[in-house]
Amino acid sequence: MGRRLSWGRYPARPQTADAVAWPDDLPRLFVGQPPASTLAYGCGRSYGDSCLAESDHVIAMRGLDRVIEADWKSGVIRAQAGLTLSDVIDVALRRGWFPPVTPGTKFVTLGGAIANDVHGKNHHVQGTFGQHVLEFTLQRSDGRVLTCSRNENPDLFAATIGGLGLTGIILAVTLQLRPVHSGLIAQRSIRFGNLREFFELSQEYDAAHEYTVAWVDCLASGSRLGRGHYIMGDHSARGPRRPAAPGRISMPIDPPFSLINQLSLRCFNSLYYHRQRKQDEKRVVGYDPFFYPLDKLLNWNRMYGRRGFQQYQCVIPQANAEPAIAEILKRISASGMGSFLAVLKQCGPVQSPGLMSFPLHGASLALDFAQREPAISRLFAALDEVVHEAGGRLYPAKDAHMSAAHFRAAYPAWQQVEALRDPALMSQFWKRVAL
């Protein structure tokens, strides 16, 4: 037994957990008539309440972390669902393979990556994680273990990808990796002065690079609104497969209050914007600093103090992206709240196989806010209106506030997921928005 929270540590609802080490442990915890509903829990890297069980009791999946088989000629790996992307990289990179899609942290499980159908800096070319899942096995609470793929149980396959862990417990996953020559990334970073320039850079360079993303100074305003760095990257053709691992430090304590305030934010954002001396800079970097800069500081979420924080991530359809993102940034800048890193990304048109996948063809913006009432609720309500009117949506993996009305309008397939939901699984998020 242990106690778990979500990454944002808001809402503060500690979960008791039973840990699974072997698939045979699951029937005891899950099959038959469990006393109350439960939920699978991976690494708890979801920010809000989608990884918290309504009953406050979860099944911890990290112990199911074995590679079952791997074909290093084709790059197809089959592993238990508690294996993390960090573990996958450890076994696959030296053989010339890498996860096809990775979020901004490698400490996520395969099960968690499917349940949120995670996306990465290459969404505009590779789509979401679910696009590369060939098959998985799903334990249902009625005792059945079902194989799901595009051809076998296709309804459950589609409902489980982005299905927020509600359709069953994923036991094992078959994933197609992507070939790489080295563990290095050829990176180019261009400083841009405002939001218009971001969209122009995106238009010019997205098609030519596998990975693109921008960091935006969310406190800049006026003619500098939306200024930032546009970062492109591609797997390097040369270099070692295992570059030197970066050192890690850990946030050692829980400060009683947030270390993130208006002053520290303004200083950091301004310094970061100017830290790149040349306007256009090229470098070769290891995959760790390129994909996972935040993983360097373990438990960085503690910086926000005991009240925690919320991330706001929305995606706006292409036709409305520029004016809506500008309006959102204006409102954030005027509020004086915001985060060190606002991440702006152009998502592509690749359709996910999942019914409730978050990305749309358009622009996604993500940033963190210290949990401070009533300011945060007031700001989020104002931002939600802009997102809703622009036909956009919020990311359940990051959410702890979305209204039921906005959720249902933004994810019309939710009823199909509800129809296939395992009756023994229920999250706080789903209770809030769907029931």
E-assigned strand segments in 14-114: 15-19, 40-41, 57-60, 67-71, 76-80, 97-98
Residue whose CB is less far from ligand FAD, 155 or 280: 155
Report the residue from 113, 159, 175, 177 that binds ligand FAD according to the rule CB under 6 A.
Answer: 113
Total chain residues near ligand FAD (CB under 6 A): 33
Q: Which is nearer to ligand FAD, 61 or 386 (CB)?
A: 61
Q: Binding ligand FAD by CB under 6 A: which of 40, 260, 383, 386?
A: 40
Q: Which of residues 144-183 bind ligand FAD (CB under 6 A)?
A: 164-165, 169-170
Of the candidates 61, 51, 73, which has an alpha carbon nearest to the alpha carbon of residue 173? 61
Omega before 374 cis (within 30°)? yes
Q: Which two tokens stand for residue 311?
A: 């991330």
Q: DSSP string of 157-208?
A: HHHHTTSTT-S-EEEEEEEE-EE-S-SEEEEEEEEESSHHHHHHHHHHHGGG
* Least spacing, CB of residue 422 vs ligand FAD, in Å: 10
Q: Tell the smallest beta-carbon distance from residue 212 to ligand FAD (Å).
A: 13
What is the rounded distance in angstroms from the CA atom of residue 283 to the CA atom of residue 217?
Answer: 22
Q: What residues between 52 and 111 interact with ligand FAD by CB under 6 A? A: 61, 81, 103-105, 108-109, 111
Contact stretch for ligand FAD (CB under 6 A) within 46-54, 179-187, 230-238, 266-274: 46-54
The torsion angle over the Cα atoms of residues 214, 220, 226 and 231, rounded to 10 degrees, is: -20
Chain residues 183-222 in contact with ligand FAD, contact rule CB under 6 A: none
Distance CA 155, CA 164 (A): 15
Least CB distance to ligand FAD at residue 341 (A): 10
Among 77, 79, 92, 118, contact with ligand FAD (rule: CB under 6 A): 118
Which residues, including other chains, have CB under 8 Å from residue 193's CB and lie 6 or more apart? 223, 224, 227
The three-class DSSP label of residue 388 is: helix
Least spacing, CB of residue 296 vs ligand FAD, in Å:
11
User: Smallest Cα–Cα separation from 83: which of 101, 63, 104, 97?
Assistant: 63
Nearer to ligand FAD, 104 or 226 (CB): 104
Among 237, 294, 334, 435, binds ligand FAD (CB under 6 A): 294
Toward ligand FAD, which CB reaches closer, 44 or 183? 44
Distance of closest approach, residue 50 Cβ to ligand FAD, in angstroms: 5
Min. distance of Cβ 72 from ligand FAD in angstroms? 25
Amino acid at 215: W
CB of 59 to ligand FAD, least distance (A): 8
As a whole number of angstroms, the distance between CA 421 and CA 432 comes to: 15
Task: Tell me which of 9, 57, 106, 119 binds ligand FAD, using CB under 6 A.
Answer: 119
CB of residue 221 vs ligand FAD: minimum separation in angstroms? 26
Task: State the minimum distance, in angstroms, from the CB of residue 306 to ligand FAD.
Answer: 18
CB of 270 to ligand FAD, least distance (A): 23
Cβ proximity of 94 and 241 under 8 Å: yes
Output 120 or 348, the one with its CB closest to ligand FAD. 120
CB under 8 Å to 273, separation ≥6 — which residues? 191, 217, 220, 227, 228, 229
Q: Are 417 and 356 in contact (CB under 8 A)?
A: yes
Contact call for residues 127 and 347 (beta carbons, < 8 A): no
- Closest by CA to 103, choosing from 33, 47, 60, 147, is 47
Which of 26, 51, 93, 341 touches ligand FAD by CB under 6 A? Answer: 51
The answer to whether 235 and 181 have CB atoms below 8 angstroms apart is yes
**Which of 37, 50, 212, 352 forms a contact with ligand FAD (CB under 6 A)?**
50
CB of 159 vs ligand FAD, minimal distance in Å: 12
Give one DSSP letter per residue of 237-264, joined into a string.
Answer: SSS-SSPPPPP-EE--S--SS-S--HHH
120 lies in the binding site for ligand FAD (CB under 6 A): yes
Footprint of ligand FAD on residues 322-381 (CB under 6 A)? none
Q: Which amino acid is at 281?
A: E
Residues that bind ligand FAD (CB under 6 A): 7, 39-46, 50-51, 61, 81, 103-105, 108-109, 111-113, 115-116, 118-120, 164-165, 169-170, 294, 397, 427
